[in-house]
Every structure is written in C-alpha cells, then in structure tokens.
Structure 1
C-alpha cells in the first residue's frame, strides 16, 4: 500500500493482498452518506466545515480513478432537485428527512429512520448490486450506513471525523459535553463496520483505546488538500492588496467555525496579552476572524465580539463572514500566521490549506495537528490553551518578520505531500480490502 496508508495489524498477520490472489476488485460505485452536512454547503457556516471539503474532494478524486460516488445528504431547503451532479461521476442525492429549516444537529438522531427510508427508496429503483460499498461519514451517517450495508449485502467503511469520548476528554470551558447516546451509537458503528478510516495514527489509537476497535479493521489515510486552489500563487503582498489589508501588518488569522471547541477566544486573549506587553505593536497588528457561529457557539453568536470589546482589542480585530474556497485561499496567503488553538481536531484541514498557501501555522498540539504541522519548521505547536503561550509565539513573529517567509516556504513544501490524489488511491485500497474480507465472510452471514 502507499506510504499514506498504515494498516493496524496484529503482529504476525500476513498482508491482506498476499492472501487472496486475484480478488482485488475495486468498487465500481460507492454510496457515500453525509446526513448532517451537505457537500454543497459553504464551509465555515452552520455545521459545514472540514468534513464537507473532505467529502467533496475525496469523491471527485475517486470518480477520477473510475469509482463512481453517490452522496446522500439531508435536504435543508425546499425545492432542491432530488439529485445534483457535483462533478462527472459524483452525484449528490437530497433526502427528505424532517423539517428543512431550524433542525439542530442534536435533533437529527430522531430523523435517521426517515433518512434511511429515503436512501432505501433511491436504492429500490436500481438493479440488485447497484452499490458495491457504503462509506459513511460521522456517527449519524454510520447508523444509516450500518443498516444499508446489511440490507444490500455490501461492506461498510466508516470515517468518524470526530469522536464523542475524545471531545469530552478535552472540553473547552463552558462547552456542552457530547451526549451518552452518541457514545453508544459510535460504539455500535465501530463494531459493525468492516473498515474504519482514521485521519492519523493517533486517531487510530483512540479508536482502539476508547472504542475497542479491532486494530486489523483500522486504516490510516491522511486527508488531502486541493493543491490547485491552495497554493502560494502571486504571494502575500498581492493577496493583501486584493483584500485591502496593510502591507506591513502582523496578521494572525483565525479561519473556521466560531464555537468553543475551535477556541477563537484564545487568540483574542493572546492578542490582549501581547498588546499589554508591547503596546507599540497595536498600530501594525490586524486580527481577522473569518467564519460564522456554529454548534454550541450558536447560543451566543455575538460572544466573541463582546469578548474583543471587553479585552480592549476590538480595534485590531476584524470579523469576516465565511468566504468561498477561492477567497479563503487569499486570506491564507495574506496572513502572517494561521492560529488554531482548538481543543480537539481530528486532523485540521485548514492547517494544511494555509501551509499550502505558504503560511506558517500556530496550533494547539492536539489530535491530528502534530501531523499537519511540523513543529518549529512549518509553524509552532503549543501545549495547552494558555493565552500567554500563544502571545509568546506571536511576539516571535513580530520581532523576527523573516520567520513568516522562511517558515512559509517550508510549509508550502510540506503541504505538497498531502495531495487528494494520494488520499483517494489510499481510500480505494481500503475499499478493496473491505470488499475482499466481506466476500470471505458472506457465506457465514447467511448460514
């Protein structure tokens, strides 16, 4: 397998591909499930984020290697066409399940039955064997996938993206813990899936440790980055000119959903500490916060603006609504450093996107971020969420402006190894292994 797929095996197990000569059939068509967030939604709004980008890019690259993908997602507005072609070989199917508007992610478990019904209806119109495999994303989709895969007699590949037990172990102050129902749901899916895709080795370890996953079922596939869109391009100065930003400013950027988990408040507090120590920096400091409230952040959408005022940094902070991917790439290029103080992050796609655009990253040393960021080479990793620690690194960038360029160049080189083509071919290998194993066990399923 490619270097990007690490298979967790018990010692002594022979590699799967040596055991079954001639049985390496790739799926022709995959049913991909994304219940709570549509691949057509703008990342950075509502529940749309890295997972949307992941599903869209992976599906497009799988289609490019002749694996057709149909993505089932919940219809969130009336009058949507039942199906939309996202790209050649990639179809998005809108499933009616519950009211279009105003349904929070926490209320979706009650709609899984309706969603499953919609998936089954779509399948009923096809000949038997239409889908070769189900790939579900996030635990809500996993439950639908479990039933669909069983009903269709095909393997289930599941990607957690985030895990309740991991999130609850590292909650932000004042954030709401994930409910017990989710923990139970995730445990059931881990048991039911033929293969589990983890973003990093750490996530694979967490699946085994927290959910007793069979190590032989877990495959590590790093997500990719769209290197055609996120690239250095014409550089920092040109991007700043396009966005109307001052050329000589120190610009620490936050980009993502505004919720306690992502900890944008830590950046604002760090900026307040920095300005206390170095008031002369105020005239050349600009802190853009690009994104919209999400999750538990929706309860107090203006909390971050109020915090900026309370800390006395409102004059240097600029709030921007979520932007499309092309413009996001420009914000990354324009920034001096991307700041990601998250409490939990299964991978942290934006860290790779910013680096691909030539910008270093200052991140919390959690989840997949130590894989995404090479500490002291392409950015800095900080243990914990103490604002003073983040302020210290920002001071380094203020005092040594050349760091932005030298680390940015290293970051762009590092990001090149995270192309989506690599991820897609690694995922296709996981599919092949799941199908092989499933065929071996089919007779025992039916007595």
Structure 2
C-alpha cells in the first residue's frame, strides 16, 4: 500500500467552527482504567481541548449512565453532552447496540433545540467525528441527517483483534465486523494512528485508500516528564524494589496474567533479582470478560510470587507519571494494540518499555532504542526481554533517555492541527480546475 493517503478529490478548505464528537460507549470524563475507559478517553478529551484552543467549539456526545448527568462544560469551548439512551445506569458495551437508535434520536433533538435557542440554522455542526464502531453507526445516520462530513476513528478493529485471540477468549461478533464495514464504506475520512492500521483498513475492510488518513496520537509532555526514579519509588512505598509496571484495563487482550507469569519465570531464573522484583499493576477490570484482581492474586499464590505482586487498582490520570517514573521498566504484553499510548507515556517519563511486537506498538516502541519488542506471546519470551533490560543498567538508562526524546515527537497539539486540517478540507468545496 502506498503513501500518502489523500481525499478522492482536491478541495478548497472551509473554516470549521463546531464539531460533534460521538463517544457513545464511554464518557471522556471517566477515569482511564475503569470499565471501558482507556486510551480512547484520553484521546477524545485531549484533542477536544486543543481544538477548542484553536477556536473550534466541540460537543462530545456520550450516553448518560446516571439520572444526574446532563451537559457539562469541561474546558472553554468543550462540552460533554450526556444523552438519554436506555437505563439511567451503566450498561455493558455488548448491550449498547439495542440503544443506538434512541441515542441518535436524543442527539438529533439536542442539536435542533440548541440551534433554535441560538438562532442558528440547522445543522449546528460542520463535522461529525465518531469514535469506536458503535459511535460510527450513529455517525453514519447523523451524516445523512445533517448533510455534513463524517470522520471515523475506530481505536480497535474487530478483525485485527480476532487474529490474535487469547486462549478461551470469544471472538468479536459478526455484528461488530459488519458494522465496521458499513462505517468504513460510508465515512468521508477514516483515521488511523499508524500506517499499519491504515493497511488493515484497506486490506481487511476494503477502505478506499484515498479516504484513509494517518494521524498519530499524542502525549502531554508537560505532565509526562522524566524524574528521579528512587525518589518516586520512595513516595510510592517501593524503595529497594525492582519495579515492573503494568498499566491498562484488566482484560484478556492486555494479558495481565501473562505479565505475572513472566515475573514468575524471571524469578525462577534469577533468584538474586527475585528478592527485589515486583509487578505493580495499575488498572481495573473491563467488560464481561475482564480479569478480576482476585484472580491475579490467586494466580500469584499458585505461582509462588504473591510477594512480587502489588495491585494498585485505578489511579487518576494525573497521578500516572509517578508510577512511570518509579518503574525500572514498563511491560505491555498486549495481543493487539491500535497504537500503544501507554508506551509513549512511559517513554516520556524515561522508562524503558518491553512490549509485544504487534500493531501500533511497533511505532510506539523503537526496538532496541526506547525498549524491546517481544516476538512471542509466551511468558518466557517476555521474561527474556525483562531480563535484558533489568540486568543491563547502562542499556536501560540509554533506552530511558532515548525514550524521553522520542516521545516529544508525539504531541496532542500537533495531532489536533493535523486533524483540523482534515476537517477543513472535508468541509470545503470541490476544486474545479479551469478549462
């Protein structure tokens, strides 16, 4: 597949003033690491804030999961609009398709009411940007109703996940795959975080390459900065420990159990290292198939490494840098990742990364420079990678320094500037060359 990806026709850009963002299954105000909240939440909130700083008003539409949730002004120019769709309570992601039509109707009513109150002609928005496939089905209908371009970000792709399922993990259902295909064929632009995902969209879903654009996510380099490792360890009660950090939702895809088995394998190989080794897990269960913390505790006991497991649960996003700075290495044994935001956050804080050689992690980790990519899902293979990093202080320090420099390439403002340029191009008029 060739670069660059370009729109089907040359267009004269138009100013974009208002954007409707659809995030039906998870609210960007939710703390990452809880339930279905993760890197996508960080992405939506971070980009919306930067777009608003550039003069674009952003309304983020999400499902109300409680009776008191309405419209929340979260940043100047950014609102989160909680819409009624189904019960006033949390709903499993798998059950949300039945409420899509209700959500769409609520969104259409909200827009019409807002337009009338402000004396604006409908539609109020210049662009609809949907996140995840469920939101894409809503975006397709909003595009048709309002007559505005649709931009789609998937964040994960069902067919890609199905290629690397963990043992006993259920495949993504046909309904999801069919829904993704419909959105790919309808959207005016499909965003991918890497060229690898762009290729998957073309080769697996039949996307028109001219409608696929690559915009890498960013990292807040004001928040995620290097620090003194021993000081941060002391602040977290980890003095004297060799810290392997796992950050992410506890689900089979992320393989926290494999991380623990890798720790057990490494401990058995290196008794001296085993005395100080600890796996610090930051994150909570996600979805029906989520891994429960007590299951990890039981596995640790079965493996004889209970002393080497520390479950932190979820922590506020602005507290994560403390954990990254305290880490001797960050382990990401995921079976698939669209990008790998955790890897960039870790690098920004100066922590070397050991990660699976899959998907976006091949972009987020420079193998042998900012960390190591592991070519197997076997615990022993991750143990090999951990051993290389943890027993070679000079190499580890070099990776941390290189990572902090590398992470500065990924900037939310730059990503938002690129995204706004795409919005303006799509909102423009087709250029007709003079005869």
* TM interval, short-chain normalised: over 0.9
Answering whether residue 102 of structure 2 is matched by residue 114 of structure 1, we say yes
2:215 paired residue number: 221
Q: Of 222, 227, 230, which residue of structure 2 is paired with 1:237?
A: 230
CA contact (8 A) 1:258 1:297 kept: no
Q: Under a length normalisation based on structure 2, what TM-score does the superposition of the two structures give? A: 0.94
Give the equivalent residue in structure 1 for 2:44: 55
* Count of equivalent residues: 423
- The question of whether the paired residues in 2 share the 8 Å contact of 1:176 and 1:296 is answered with no
Superposed CA offset, 1:24-68 (max 9, x none): 113110000000000000000000000000000010011111111
Return 5+ residue gaps in structure 1 as ranges: 1-5, 442-447
Partner Cα separation in structure 1 for residue 377 and residue 311 of structure 2: 22
Residue 196 of structure 1: CA displacement? Answer: 0.4
The reply to whether residue 40 of structure 1 matches residue 29 of structure 2 is yes
- Secondary structure at 2:128 match in 1: strand
Matches within 5 A, 1:42-441: 42-80=31-69, 82-125=70-113, 126=115, 127=120, 128-232=122-226, 234-246=227-239, 248-298=240-290, 300=292, 302-436=294-428, 439-440=429-430
Q: How far apart, in 1, do the equivalents of 2:372 and 2:291 lie?
A: 32
Paired residue secondary structure (2:310) = strand
In structure 2, how many angstroms separate the alpha carbons of the residues matched to 1:284 and 1:300? 25
How far 1:245 sits from its partner (Å)?
1.0
Helix, strand or coil: the match of 1:298? coil
CA RMSD between the two structures: 1.6
CA contact (8 A) 2:34 2:249 kept: yes
Deviation at 1:299, TM superposition (A): 6.8
Q: Offset of 1:298 from its aligned partner? A: 3.2
TM-score norm. by structure 1 comes to 0.92
User: Which residue is equivalent to 1:445?
Assistant: none
**How far apart, in 1, do the equivalents of 2:385 and 2:27 lie?**
37
Post-superposition offset of 1:296: 4.2
Matched, 1:24 2:18: no
Partner residue in 2 for 1:444:
none
- Structure 1 runs (4+) greater than 3 angstroms displaced: 296-301
